[in-house]
Amino acid sequence: MQQYININLVLFNMRKLIASIILSFALLLPLTMVATPVLAQTDTVTSTTDDSSYYDSYDYGYDDSYYDFSYDLSDTDAEAGVLAGLGVMLFSGVMLVFSIVVGLGSYIYCSLALMKIAKRMDHENPWFAWIPILNMVLLLQLGDQNPVLLLLLLIPGVGAVVVGVLSIIALMKICEKRGYDKMLGLLSLIPVASYVLLGILAWGKKEPAVAVK
């Protein structure tokens, strides 16, 4: 009986020992799985650092002073940039003044010429030549065209084309009344020649103007 109890006690102790071993293994296994990647990463970082130090310490034979990418903006370059900017501004100002002078001179010349034509054709309101829109009314009246057609300008695109054609027809009619060939009115299609045409109709000596009522 005593021998049976001893055998059972030994078996119980062996089972307890095996259970302790299994429990310890179960507890240590997760720690082992976590520690292994950390150690591997530490080895990699150490290896990379060592390799970087190796490449940094290696002499490739390049002269850093030869590859100088720094730019020094000297005072001369700054002054050149300022002068260039001032030159552009000056040129733009001159062109603006020139455009204003040319535009104003063109308007005065055309107004004088149209007023002279209206006077020679005995129109009752030659001063219309100086007023925008009214000068177009005067031109159409001198050319026997209906000024109401200027309302076509309210139609984008097409209206401007129609009024332009009517202006040419009016000038051709004025040429005919002034004793010139009506085809002379086609000179209005040429920008510079149109000023010559107005000068001829205003100050040229031909047949007396026909009154337009």
pLDDT one-digit tens code per residue, 152-179: 999 998 999 999 999 999 999 999 999 9
Instruction: Report pLDDT for 86.
Output: 87
Question: How much of the chain exceeds pLDDT 90, in percent?
Answer: 47
Residue 16 CB-half CA count within 13 A: 6
Q: What is the mean pLDDT of residues 65-80?
A: 59
Domains of the chain, by residue range, sit at 1-47, 108-203
How many whole angstroms separate alpha carbon 31 and alpha carbon 137?
A: 102
pLDDT one-digit tens code per residue, 175-197: 999 999 999 999 999 988 999 99
Instruction: Report pLDDT for 39.
Output: 42
Kindly give the residue spans of alpha helices, DSSP state H, lying in 121-153. 134-142
Exposed e or buried b per residue across 121-131, where buried means at least 16 C-beta atoms within 10 angstroms of its C-beta: bebeebebbbe
pLDDT one-digit tens code per residue, 84-134: 888 889 899 999 999 999 999 999 999 999 999 999 999 999 999 999 999
Task: With 0.85 as the threshold, say if the pTM is over it.
Answer: no
Give counts: helices (H), strands (E), the chain: 5, 0
How many whole angstroms separate alpha carbon 118 and alpha carbon 4?
A: 149
Quick check: 197 and 180 in contact, CB under 8 A? Answer: no
